[in-house]
């Protein structure tokens, strides 16, 4: 492995990627590939913590891979693989089950939100989800984890677990740090700007998918909830307009000051139309590259398999170290451990 910093991130291959995923995570993964050793993972084992149709999950795994490549993930510079292809993820997650406390996991906001409605029916996997995520990160001795703001708590938990493991069993894991973008870290739902845009939002008018047609983008943005008033600025009391303006800033690469000045004295209709134009301009070329890539599923499968083969030895080594440190297995013949 090179001595460049290791960057690892994951995305669930369920639902369709939306602009929150794109601006909060994927676009940055692509932009920052040059400086690091990059590993991007399609976390299909995280996806099954809520019900999935098997055929659809497999389809979405290829779709998500093609979107990431279309967004600029370069297989020459980055590993891109499917989580369930490297068995050590589940194996290390189990070891972490012996480290994490119930209380720690009960404090996780994502778990509380996702299980709020039907706690008794929600899967055990939804509860232990952060341990699998911690295993993903720790296996590759990751330094940096680029994610949206919603995942910061999980990366901090990973750090705590690694620290506890190292203190108890000896230096084994590298402590990771989350990196959160200044802009686009939390894109909110268009129908309800107090809730983050999510893949499970489901309702039409909630999200803009990165594969949405120009017409669909237009109808979602034009019907987005705005606020009473008319000033266009980022303001905690006006979440609807703030969200649209944040999307505009993320899509055009302008600054907050320049954007606020640009829209001074203009109405919400103008803001919405310009957001539509900016999104269509950004997403149309991505969609064209996606269509090409998606037309060769065998090529996608081969690329994902090759990548898993290339990085598996790193995961195997870290897992073997963790296992030995905890006293599992028989150790080596004649050895001290």
Active site residues: 114, 196, 199
151 forms part of the interface with ligand AMP (CB under 6 A): yes
Q: Residue 29 and residue 280: Cα distance in Å, rounded?
A: 21
Q: From the list 137, 259, 275, 278, which residue makes contact with ligand TRP (rule: CB under 6 A)? A: 137
Task: Confirm or reject binding of residue 10 to ligand TRP (CB under 6 A).
Answer: yes
Nearer to ligand AMP, 183 or 222 (CB): 183
For 135, the 3-state DSSP assignment is helix
Q: Which is nearer to ligand TRP, 130 or 239 (CB)?
A: 130
Interface residue with ligand TRP, options 6, 7, 8, 251 (CB under 6 A): 8
Distance of CA 93 to the CA centre of its chain: 18
Tokens 């402590």 correspond to 175
Q: List C-alpha distances in Å: 288 to 27, 124, 280.
A: 16, 40, 12
Within a 10 A sphere around the Cβ of 220, how many other Cβ atoms? 22
197 touching ligand AMP, by CB under 6 A: yes
Closest CA to 314 of 161, 141, 87, 165: 141
Question: Of ligand AMP, ligand TRP, none, which one does residue 44 interact with (CB within 5 to 8 Å by kind)?
Answer: none
Please select the residue that binds ligand AMP; options are 6, 7, 8, 11, rule is CB under 6 A.
11
Q: Report the C-alpha gap between 9 and 14 in whole angstroms.
A: 16
Which of the stretches 182-190, 212-220, 264-272, 286-294 binds ligand AMP when contact is defined by CB under 6 A? 182-190
Q: What is the DSSP letter of 42?
A: E
d(CA 131, CA 125): 9
Closer CB to ligand TRP, 8 or 127, in the complex:
8
Chain centre distance of CA 141:
18
Count of residues interacting with ligand TRP (CB under 6 A): 14
Number of residues that bind ligand AMP (CB under 6 A): 17
Residues that bind ligand TRP (CB under 6 A): 8-12, 43, 46, 133, 136-137, 145, 147, 151, 154
């Amino acid at each position: 492995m090179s001595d460049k910093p290791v960057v690892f991130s994951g995305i669930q291959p369920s639902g369709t990627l939306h602009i929150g995923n794109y601006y909060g995570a994927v676009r940055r993964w692509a932009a920052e590939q040059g400086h690091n050793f990059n590993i991007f993972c399609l976390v299909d084992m995280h996806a099954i913590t809520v019900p999935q149709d098997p055929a659809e999950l497999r389809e979405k795994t290829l779709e998500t891979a093609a979107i990431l490549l279309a967004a600029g993930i370069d297989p020459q510079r980055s590993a891109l693989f499917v989580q369930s292809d490297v068995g050590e993820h589940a194996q290390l997650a189990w070891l972490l089950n012996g480290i994490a406390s119930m209380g720690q996991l009960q404090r996780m906001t994502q778990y509380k939100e996702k299980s709020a409605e039907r706690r008794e029916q929600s899967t055990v996997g939804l509860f232990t989800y952060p341990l699998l995520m911690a295993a993903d990160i720790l296996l590759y001795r990751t330094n940096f984890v680029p994610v949206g703001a919603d995942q910061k708590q999980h990366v901090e938990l990973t750090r705590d677990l690694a620290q506890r493991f190292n203190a108890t069993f000896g230096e084994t894991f590298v402590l990771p740090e989350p990196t959160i973008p200044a802009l686009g870290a939390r894109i909110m739902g268009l129908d309800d700007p107090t809730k983050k845009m999510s893949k499970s939002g489901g309702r039409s008018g909630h999200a803009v998918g990165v594969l949405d047609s120009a017409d669909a983008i237009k109808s979602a943005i034009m019907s987005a909830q705005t606020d009473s008033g008319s000033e266009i600025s980022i303001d905690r009391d006006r979440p609807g307009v703030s969200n649209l303006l944040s999307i505009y800033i993320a899509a055009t690469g302008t600054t907050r000051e320049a954007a606020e000045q640009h829209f001074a004295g203009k109405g919400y209709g103008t803001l919405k139309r310009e957001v539509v134009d900016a999104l269509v301009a950004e997403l149309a070329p991505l969609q064209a590259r996606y269509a090409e890539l998606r037309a060769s599923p065998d090529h996608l499968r081969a690329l994902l398999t090759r990548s898993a083969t290339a990085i598996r030895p790193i995961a195997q080594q870290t897992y073997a170290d963790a296992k030995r440190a905890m006293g599992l297995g028989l150790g080596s013949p004649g050895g001290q451990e």
